[in-house]
Amino acid sequence: MKDFKRSRRLRSSAEMRCLVQETTVHISDLIYPMFVVHGENIKREIPNLFGQYHHSVDQLKKAVGEVVELGIKAIVLFGLPEVKDEEASGAYAAEGIVQQAIREVKKHYPNLLVITDVCLCQYTSHGHCGVVKEGTVNNDESIETLASTALSHAMAGADMVAPSDMMDGRVGRIREVLDENNFKHIPIMSYSVKYASAFYGPFRSAANCAPQFGDRKTYQMDPANRLEAIRQVQADLEEGADIIMVKPALAYIDIIREVRDRFSMPLAAYHVSGEYAMIKLAAKHGLLKEEESMVEALTAIKRAGADMILTYFAKDMARWIRRNG
């Protein structure tokens, strides 16, 4: 009688499993988000984002040094300005918090890729991602401010800009303004497919950017929609995006796969604050093994088709890869 299929032959030892392993997360796939605040000598743990810190500019040499030492090749910078206003003027100020941070990081680590989150929500008094006119977020005025913000980041030395605001036409407008100002060589990583997600919860306290009225559903996507994601990516590619992103990652793992199958552009996925906090908190309570859960989550995101992953676990994952890779 013919024997049945013996799948367990290839699972018999760690060495055998390694040999047939299909997906590997590399340190070069990881992008580490960092938060910069005004002031001096500040290294403060962010409430709800266990193990992540607010750093003042003078602390970045040391903090980013640890990231570089681990072999991580890219960070994404978020800024918390001293004052917020209606115009989000802190977002595009030459001496703004992110602009200072970029210069400091590039001075010490010229080869590290410094990506900047381009959005207004940390900088507006109302906490929306765009400029508010007559009670609503005004698209066309917002994209002008976003383009000025992206330009100010490029002028400070950013290697890539990453608009996360979800206004229509912002990728095209940013591309135009960068091109007109001799920044044709600076790529745009677009948060193309960004859902209106509850999993951003801890980030809003980290970046102090919860909207003061309403919500983000008039610009971020409905979690129920799949085809809309395809249309968003198409539009961003037509406008000149160089890298596209799906965010969050785990609850949208099907979207990552679908975008991967349909488009040939490099694809990023953002394993967001809530996804990170869930693992951290469950592990703290002894419900999950933290490292195994981290590796499983990030491997799943890569397996789904992401080429790179923005994750608060970047340093922990890099350490794990160095030990086990």
Interacting positions 190-209 with ligand PBG (CB under 6 A): 200, 203-204
Residue pair 146/167 in contact (Cβ under 8 Å)? The answer is yes
- 12 in a labelled binding site: no
Specify the residue, 3 or 275, whose C-beta has the smaller distance to ligand PBG.
Answer: 275
Q: Residue 99 in contact with residue 153, Cβ under 8 Å?
A: yes
Nearest to 188 by CA among 108, 106, 118: 118
Q: How far apart are CA 190 and CA 268, in angstroms?
A: 9
Output the smallest distance, CB 219 to ligand PBG, in A: 9
How far apart are CB 2 and ligand PBG at their closest, in Å?
52
Closest contact distance (angstroms) between CB of 9 and ligand PBG is 41
Say how far apart CA 318 and CA 109 lie, in whole Å: 18
- Asked if residue 323 belongs to a known ligand binding site, the reply is no
Q: Does 121 bind ligand PBG (CB under 6 A)?
A: yes
Question: In this structure, which amino acid lies at residue 171?
Answer: V
Output the CA–CA distances (angstroms, integers) from residue 282 to 23, 273, 299, 319, in the order listed: 26, 14, 19, 21
**57 vs 272, beta carbon nearer ligand PBG:** 272
Shortest Å, Cβ 290 to ligand PBG: 18
- The answer to whether the CB of 190 falls within 8 A of the CB of 245 is yes
Half-sphere exposure of 50 (CA within 13 A, CB side): 13
119 annotated as a binding-site residue: yes
177 binds ligand PBG (CB under 6 A): no
Rank residues 203 and 320 by Cβ distance to ligand PBG and give the closer one.
203
Give all strands (DSSP E) within the chain, no chain letters. Answer: 30-37, 43-45, 53-56, 74-80, 113-118, 131-133, 136-138, 160-163, 189-194, 243-247, 267-271, 308-311
Show contacts with ligand PBG in window 23-52 (CB under 6 A): none
Among 102, 114, 119, 304, binds ligand PBG (CB under 6 A): 119
Q: Does 272 bind ligand PBG (CB under 6 A)?
A: yes
Catalytic residue among 5, 61, 194, 280: 194
Pick the closer one to ligand PBG by CB: 58 or 215.
215
Side-chain-side CA neighbours of residue 139 (13 Å): 10
Q: How far is the CB of 184 from ligand PBG (least distance, A)?
A: 26
* Residue 311 within binding range of ligand PBG, rule CB under 6 A: no
CB of residue 272 to ligand PBG, shortest distance in Å: 4
Was 129 annotated as part of a binding site? Answer: yes
Question: Quick one: CA dihedral 104, 110, 112, 114, positive or negative?
Answer: positive
Q: Which of residues 145-174 bind ligand PBG (CB under 6 A)?
A: 164
Active site residue 247: yes
- By CB under 6 A, the count of residues binding ligand PBG is 11
Structure token digits, residue 25: 């997360």
The strand pair at 113-118 and 131-133 is best described as unpaired
- Is 216 part of any known ligand binding site? yes
Query: Tell me, what amino acid is at 226?
Result: R
Characterize 249-277 residue by residue with b for buried, 16 or more Cβ atoms within 10 angstroms of its Cβ, and e for exposed: bbebbebbebbbeebebebbbbbbbbbbb
Among 273, 279, 301, 321, binds ligand PBG (CB under 6 A): 273
7 is in an annotated binding site: no
From the list 84, 247, 302, 315, the catalytic residue is 247
Question: Is there a binding annotation on residue 273?
Answer: yes
Q: Annotated binding residues for Zn(2+), as ranges?
A: 119, 121, 129
Active site residues: 194, 247
* Binding-site residue ranges for 5-aminolevulinate: 204, 216, 273, 312
Q: Give the footprint of ligand PBG on this chain (CB under 6 A).
A: 117, 119, 121, 129, 164, 200, 203-204, 216, 272-273
